[in-house]
Amino acid sequence: MPNAQLPAPGEMGVTISGDLGTIRVYSETASAIELCLLDPLDTRSVTKKVSLQPGESGIWSATDPDIRVGAKYALTVDGPEAPTNKFNNTLFLIDPYARGVVRESAREYHCVVIDTSFDWQGVTKPNIALDELVIYEAHARGLTRGNKDLPDDLRGTYAALGHESTIAHLKKIGVNAVELLPIQLLISEPHLLKNGLINYWGYNTINFFTPHHRYATTAAIQAGPQAIIDELKTAIRELHRNGIEVIMDVVYNHTAEGGSGGLTYSYRGIDNANYYRQDENGHYHDTTGCGNSLNFGNPHVIHLVMESLRYWTHEMQIDGYRFDLATTLARNEINHFDPNHALLRAINDEPGFAETKMIVEPWDVGLGGWQTGNFPDRFSEWNDRFRDSVRRFWLTDIASARANGNHWNGVADLATRLAGSRDIVDGPSGPIGGLNFITAHDGFCLKDLVSYNVKHNNANGESNRDGANNNSSFNHGHEGEGATEEIRVQRRKAARNLMGTLLFSAGIPMITAGDERGKTQNGNNNAYCQDNVMTWLNWDLTRQQQDLEDTVSYLTKLRRENPVLRPKAFGDFNEANENHDLLKWYNLNGEIMTEDDWHNQECRTISRFSESRTGTDRNALLLLVHGSEKSIEVTLPSPDGVSGYQLLWNSAHESPHQEQSHHSIGENITVSGTSMLLLRAL
């Protein structure tokens, strides 16, 4: 198997040459494969069967003039009985390389041969540098479903992603890359459908080439897969036209066919023994928690993923990918994580991916699954240590101090995160080897993180058993809604502190859609099955929500205007030059931090002075962080070459102030409890 002769790029699935079409399917164990051409008006009726012939390395193929653009088809596959095989030649199966797929019913799908032509109108990819990225994680439907400024037929669709009102919001809040939760064709799990729910997040893919139909307009769905693809391409084109990249969350680690007792749609019925990891008795090795794991010890599975990435990168003009449970993708023949895995090497060596963002979720649920910091430098990694450290500092440490007088953590860990998490991503990419986040699609959203101590997931129908129990959240004295105004003020400031820490830290920041507006999910920290106002972005804002959005817009503007907030390399303690910034840490007395300061868990105040130099241009800022609820006097430090400071932002304020005060070096200033200040060094 490791030495298998793989097909060339673009050969698998249906290819058209002149008046002839060719179908190629991979199966090492099948005894017969047929292409069933379907009646255009009745796709349950077969008009022609074409037998595929076996070739080298398990590649079956057939050529026929009726395999052409617009043709509707399905596969039937037969093979011997064996513990690892699941053949059933009565089932219509999805071609794994199909570019267009139509859902006929809960169990039935057919494929469509697609025309790839599209007018991109000369619009090209923005190719934004990694250090300039501000990523916005959003659901393709939930982002626009509640936007009443959109026509009803566009709300919640691909078309709405490229609508001027959506683009205006993205540009206003200063994000330049939309990371879409999975949009490849997906299926909801049977237990959800029984309860009247669906897999809203979409981490249950059944085909890695076809856009999910449900996010298209009704008109496009009725017109068929070609119209759906064109609608999505149009949205991508318009986002690119406005300087906004599109990153896809991709789920190559498992498929929607579930465990050994799951339904058969495609891979299981074509070659269960080689697509999935299993033992000789047919028991799946599941490192994803979803019933199955694709076998990335098989070069043909690697080829499938590479072909999918090539298709979306070149044909659909996608700018980057976030690989879900990426450790599974890098497990070798013996199911161990390998940082030199063939898939990772193939991605790294592919010339066509040179400008493509590659982001990994560096863990799975298998043995040895947590691999944060261990992926090759080519990949930016989700930094869960950043999430946990920042939440502890601003939330659970404050809760602890209220309860027993001790904060438990000082500033050392937070400083490491602010500086780019060199303890985790110490490679040639520097800080941009890590992707920082406070919240994501799973877990509490920002408002709920500061409003709930425990999850409230009863709406999911699992008796509140689902979802994480350890959230490092803090309700500030009252669980959920109905809090006093004093508590609500504290919560809003905590949210600003969290957002400020995210956007002022070295590394790539990711904002979760709705957090910029204080969206709530009513304490649900696992809203994967909620396609309703709980998960949709809110568009009818209160005054406080508008204030938060204005604050986020201002913070991204500060990040954009100040290169020192987005360094490409780790800071140096001695000087700033073309290769790295100067970075110094000061205590509340305006003095360089001592060893005692770093190890004192009740040292909760620190200032980060950072300076960048490019040619004759100098950019220097002082970030002051105070993580105690008591106000404090802080002495502004006196770094070399600094004559004073200009206040740019104070998290104690509900909205950004236009009046920006000036301060002298060595001046004592009063800092409100649990707040941040950003000052420009003059």
The CATH code of the domain that includes 77 is 2.60.40.10
- Give the pLDDT score at 105: 85
Tokens of 319: 């700018």
Domain finish residue from 93, 112, 131:
112
- The values of phi and psi at residue 353, to 5°, are -105, 10
d(CA 359, CA 350): 16
Q: What one-letter code names the amino acid at 672?
A: S
Residues 6+ apart with CB under 8 A from 351: none
- The values of phi and psi at residue 177, to 5°, are -150, 125
627: CATH: 2.60.40.1180
Catalytic machinery residues? 324, 361
β 135-138/245-250 pair status: unpaired
The string of DSSP codes covering 562-612 is: -GGGS-SS--BSS---SS--EEEEE-TTSSBPPHHHHH-TT--EEEEEEEE
- Give the pLDDT score at 615: 87
Would 62 be classed as within a structural domain? yes
Q: pTM higher than 0.85 for the full model?
A: yes
In this structure, the chain runs to a length of 682
Would 622 be classed as within a structural domain? yes
- Give the pLDDT score at 573: 93
Domain finish residue from 75, 91, 112:
112
Q: What one-letter code names the amino acid at 163?
A: H
d(CA 539, CA 156): 13
- Give the pLDDT score at 4: 73
Would 520 be classed as within a structural domain? no
Would 413 be classed as within a structural domain? no
Q: How many CA atoms lie within 13 A of 608 on its CB side?
A: 27
Would 470 be classed as within a structural domain? no
d(CA 471, CA 364): 19
- Give the pLDDT score at 157: 98
The CA–CA distances, whole Å, from 316 to 120, 248, 310, 312, 526 equal: 10, 11, 9, 5, 30
CB atoms within 10 A of CB 123: 15
Q: Which residue has the tokens 């000061």?
A: 586
- Give the pLDDT score at 416: 98
Residue numbers in the chain where pLDDT is lower than 50:
none
Would 628 be classed as within a structural domain? yes
Summarize pLDDT for 287-320 with one digit per residue, the tens: 999 999 999 999 999 999 999 999 999 999 999 9
d(CA 379, CA 359): 5
Domain finish residue from 112, 136, 171:
112
**Enclosing H/E stretch for 81:** none
- Give the pLDDT score at 3: 60
| Number of folded domains that form the chain | 2
Is 253 within 8 Å of 294 (Cβ atoms)?
yes
- Give the pLDDT score at 107: 85
- Give the pLDDT score at 251: 98
Would 616 be classed as within a structural domain? yes
The string of DSSP codes covering 319-344 is: -EEEETTHHHHTB-TTS-B-TT-HHH
Would 107 be classed as within a structural domain? yes
Tokens of 593: 């931090």
Closest C-alpha to 675, from 551, 415, 494, 550: 494
Summarize pLDDT for 129-188 with one digit per residue, the tens: 999 999 999 999 999 999 999 999 999 999 999 999 999 999 999 999 999 999 999 999
- Give the pLDDT score at 659: 72
Residues 538, 544, 550, 556, CA torsion sign: negative
User: What range defines the domain where residue 657 resides?
Assistant: 573-681
